[in-house]
Amino acid sequence: MNDVSLVGPDDGETIHLGPARIRILEDGSTTGHRLGIGEITIAPHTQGPPQHRHAQHDEGFYVVSGTVHFTIGQTTHAAPAGTLAMIPPGAPSRRSR
């Protein structure tokens, strides 16, 4: 049985990339690299991290406010508040608001 992983409201690694603040809640290390979860704060009308891919794990994003645009490859998906976006391993992705 695996240990439970808890990340509190002030825990997790925080990275600042331009106007985006990223808090890593799960980097895959406690899920056998099956899942990664990040909390990203992006100001309106700004770009998030550049397009990138994760080879080993899915990424999950739950949109709390506003609308986030997820570009997966060449396709952009609008995700309003209340949307869960799951990005599969190896898919090139970027986020903007």
Strand residue runs (E) in 1-97: 13-17, 20-26, 35-42, 58-62, 67-72, 75-80, 84-87, 93-96
pLDDT of residue 28: 84
pLDDT of residue 19: 81
CA distances from 59 to 20, 39, 45, 54, 77 (A): 17, 11, 23, 8, 15
Confirm if 70 and 97 have CB atoms less than 8 A apart: no
Report strand pairing: 35-42 vs 13-17: unpaired
- Quick check: 61 pLDDT over 90? no
Mean pLDDT on 57-73: 84
